[in-house]
Structure 1
């Protein structure tokens, strides 16, 4: 999977500053009209569809788990590139660099750094076992927030775990190889069922504004957590209730805000000893 514009190495040198933008922060985007709500609904529908596709791939015994995750990364890459272009135009890399180097100080630069940093960290997620990817998207009456965190943590009792036979066969002797493969397939089918049954949380949190009353769509949210420890993968997909008292001001322009009490609680409730990497 290639990066948005071929500048991965350059950005790694800037990651220290980018990480500070990401740490314990979220993006807050205003929802000034139905058109903005419709765009949000469509984006969330695409995320839900990607979850359904992931479920189908996990259910396919001919598709290795690593390919499932590569497919997910490609979809995330397209999403982040789209967000970067929406925020900062085609020159998003230069905009983010200018913000880090102090040549600009505005919300466009801050959001460009946030999204670009997330993208590159996601690429590393597939090579660094211990990092857990945490995504929370929350809807409020006049805005929504996107929080992405990369944590050093273990999964709690929620969610589902499944194993990749391709990643774990080195430690399995030939006598038990067939049973191990069957156990891995069983766990992947269970994970597929879990994702399929829970992807509805995304659709329920962000319903169609043209067919749903404002009272019913004022608040909603979901949390998605994924991670890997060697051959074992973990996944949590659940609803997340927004705090009605989180914001005391109206959302006028996009910007960065603290991650919020809902996200803080979710990290504590869903993960064991979470420590923020970024």
Structure 2
């Protein structure tokens, strides 16, 4: 995607209050969905390991998870549109294509591009929402400039602190920062377990026990302070009146509005 970034500045409205709906028509589709969720859980566990390691910079743990998200978007882009997905997305932005496939490709392309902007945007929250329904799942890609969720875990990176500290406080600050990182590591490890429980293996779980599920998360940074929160989401069984037959962009849905309020993202969503 690097070659496109020089001439691509994002579409402020493409992600706003929209989601992608992906059908789950058969056992193979269910397995692919489960495998993808397990990679999210594995990325959480990897982040937890990095956070718990005092020799690893905190930023490396934060960026490893965002890298995984961007890579997952790019894998989906290739499945939808092949290796030329960038040109498909740019054709949509230029107004040369307005078909369903181009619209979905542009949605995921926008998400991957915004994640890559984290190197220049230090005040950013990535707040995806994943919801499972009987015949499909939806993905909401959302970004905000902040979160005020009281359940969020905050942890600090001394390497990114901008304030000059008194000499007698430097050691204490580093110790407190490492303690906050260990707490975050425990939380993130529990979050990985939450993903595994909320979206169980279709070959080992009855359909009635897996047909609904949902998780929202928010990973953020503001200067030297990082934050994370992961919560279960109750799917709305009446959200869709028509069966899922093909991937499509849809309205964000009631779960998105509820989680925006719960995460404190109201009026903060980056458009």
Is 2:150 the partner of 1:157?
A: yes
2:3 aligned partner: 6
Per-residue deviation at 1:263?
Answer: 1.3
Per-residue deviation at 1:131?
Answer: 2.3
1:37 aligned partner: 30
**1:168 corresponds to which of 161, 169, 188:** 161
Is 2:82 the partner of 1:89?
A: yes
| Comparing 48-57 and 118-127, the one that deviates more | 118-127
**1:77 corresponds to which of 70, 76, 79:** 70
Does the Cα contact within 8 Å between 1:153 and 1:273 map onto a contact in 2?
no
Q: Return the alpha-carbon distance in structure 2 between the equivalents of residues 188 and 61 of structure 1.
A: 9
Does the Cα contact within 8 Å between 1:268 and 1:274 map onto a contact in 2?
no
Q: Return the alpha-carbon distance in structure 2 between the equivalents of residues 145 and 74 of structure 1.
A: 21
2:56 aligned partner: 63
Q: Return the alpha-carbon distance in structure 1 between the equivalents of residues 113 and 167 of structure 2.
A: 38
1:183 aligned partner: 176
Structure 2 gap segments, 5+ residues each: none
Q: Please tell me the root mean square deviation across aligned C-alpha atoms, in Å.
A: 1.4
Structure 1 gap segments, 5+ residues each: none
Q: Return the alpha-carbon distance in structure 2 between the equivalents of residues 151 and 77 of structure 1.
A: 17
TM-score (norm: length of structure 1): 0.93
| 3-state SS of 1:226 partner | strand
TM-score (norm: length of structure 2): 0.96
Per-residue deviation at 1:126?
Answer: 4.1
Q: Return the alpha-carbon distance in structure 1 between the equivalents of residues 211 and 65 of structure 2.
A: 29
**Corresponding pairs, count:** 271
Change (3 A) 1:135 1:272: closer
Per-residue deviation at 1:190?
Answer: 0.4
Change (3 A) 1:151 1:272: closer
Q: Return the alpha-carbon distance in structure 1 between the equivalents of residues 42 and 215 of structure 2.
A: 15
Per-residue deviation at 1:199?
Answer: 1.6
**2:115 corresponds to which of 119, 122, 127:** 122
